[in-house]
Chains A and B, each alone.
Chain A
Amino acid sequence: MSQESLDIRFRRAVRRATGEVTVEVDGRPIAVGEEDTAAAAILLAGALPNRLSAVSGSPRAPYCMMGACFECLAEIDGVPLQQACLVQVADGMRIRTAKGSPT
């Protein structure tokens, strides 16, 4: 059975005492903790798959969250192919996933 769309996401389970910032994930604003990573923002936004694989174009999503797997690649503030799990968010950060094109 083939899926029409994907709704896989993370939720905030622990309230943060630190401040919130707003980032854009694929143009949609989302409030995140100021000490979250860009990959966390992608998972909170459910913006999956964030990329298609380079060879077959199959859907991919953040996998290791520690900088090893290169599955969380996204364009961050105009710079392509960033490891989103290693980048701290900043207010107004623009995160663009590569849903449509293999990376």
Chain B
Amino acid sequence: MTAVTADVVVIGGGLHGCSAALNMARRGLSVVVIEKDFVGRHASSANAGGVRTLGRDPREITLSLASLDLWHQIESIVGSDCGFQASGQLRLAETPEALARLQRRVDMLTSQGFDHEEIIGADEVYDILPGLRPGCVGGLICRRDGSANPLATMQAYRAVVLAAGVDLHEGIAATGATRSGGTWTVTTSAGAFEAPVIVNCAGAWADRVAAWIGDMVPVTAVAPCAMITSRMPPSLGPVVSTESRPLSLKQFENGTVLISGSLRGVADRNTNVAAIKLAPFAARAATVLELFPAMQGAQAVRFWAGIEAATPDGSPIIGPSAAAEGAFHAFGFNGHGFELGPGCGAVIAELVTTGSTNMPIAGLEVDRFEADPGVADGARRDPIEQGVDHAAST
């Protein structure tokens, strides 16, 4: 069987694979995307849809702000508004101590030249969230943040990728990749694909692809979870999290409310199965009812547990391979990669076509864990991340 040839083979048809493919195709490259299930099967399409720069690790901030600019013009990029609403992201401070922690974060950001996160007082918090129970003392807000509809987003990306001429193969799995004479050969369950460049956007399975390339990455599969409620009267407020306990809450346009926040199940990437644990769902429900009494009438309609890649330091791997020429990575988003999708795809395309990027992605290198074995046993990320886990998949 003769191999299909292209300029680039992308492994993984999630948001990051599609975004990279779209940007590369628009730069004139011929692109193949190989997706083992269907576009957006896992964390991409059934995540919580948070478009959040709030609370990001400093290494991700510039990229996330650039990506946020793209979200604000997403319709011109993918031909659909993807349900994006710049309704803001708000982290509540329920106690003076929590507010002080948020203030320290803002001071840290200011010292690095960032001003996108803003402390607001209790008055403004209650203007924004009239249904919030009394007692909160303030909050941290990113006004240009918001949320999008992951399903609509993946539909739009799928359509626009095809329209851009990308050769999309769904339902076939990559089984290996080797490089010879400057050409990568990607073997799959349905024949081989050849290209000088491969891009690894394989999500929870990306460490296996990285290993074919020669990069060893201590990625673990995690099962971020979320639940969605019955339709509630619309409030169209911001995405809400709290500083002192895990919670993320957001209402979609159709009235359904998505509840998440450090919900973790048990992932098995060999069987594609992610099992939920009931206890954290119950705890989040209790938190939501305590904060928002109007949610008393809501029903939990669906719990999800998806499969997503986590890295030891909680930040993604974005950039060229450390082991081989013509290979690039964008994976390990730890459940908060949705917002980065448009921006990260543009960066990958820039790297592939020009060999470099002006975007600061230092600290996100694929080989950063080799030097520091201590990190691999699970050093946790910045505590401010705890409340805002956004990925979950069906």
Contacts and interface: CB of A to CB of B under 8 A. Distances in A.
Q: Please determine if A and B sit in direct contact within the complex, based on CB atoms under 8 angstroms apart.
A: yes
Interface of A: 54-55, 80-81, 102-103
A80 B231 CA distance: 12
Interface string B281-308: 0000000000000000101000000000
A54 B299 contact: no
Contacts of A81: 230, 297, 299
9 contacts: A54-B231, A54-B255, A55-B254, A80-B297, A81-B230, A81-B297, A81-B299, A102-B231, A103-B231
Nearest to A102: B231
Q: How large is the interface on B (under 10, 10 to 19, 20 to 34, 35 or more residues)?
A: under 10
A86 to B, nearest CB: 15
Contacts, number: 9
Interface of B: 230-231, 254-255, 297, 299
Nearest to B297: A80
Contacts of B231: 54, 102-103
Contacts of B299: 81
Nearest to B255: A54
Given A80-B297, A81-B230, 7 more contacts: A54-B231, A54-B255, A55-B254, A81-B297, A81-B299, A102-B231, A103-B231
A-B residue pairs, 9 tightest by C-beta: A80-B297, A54-B231, A81-B299, A81-B230, A81-B297, A102-B231, A54-B255, A103-B231, A55-B254
Nearest to B296: A80
Contacts of B297: 80-81
Nearest to B233: A101
Nearest to B299: A81
A84 to B, nearest CB: 15
Contacts of A80: 297
Contacts of A55: 254
Contacts of A54: 231, 255
B351 to A, nearest CB: 44
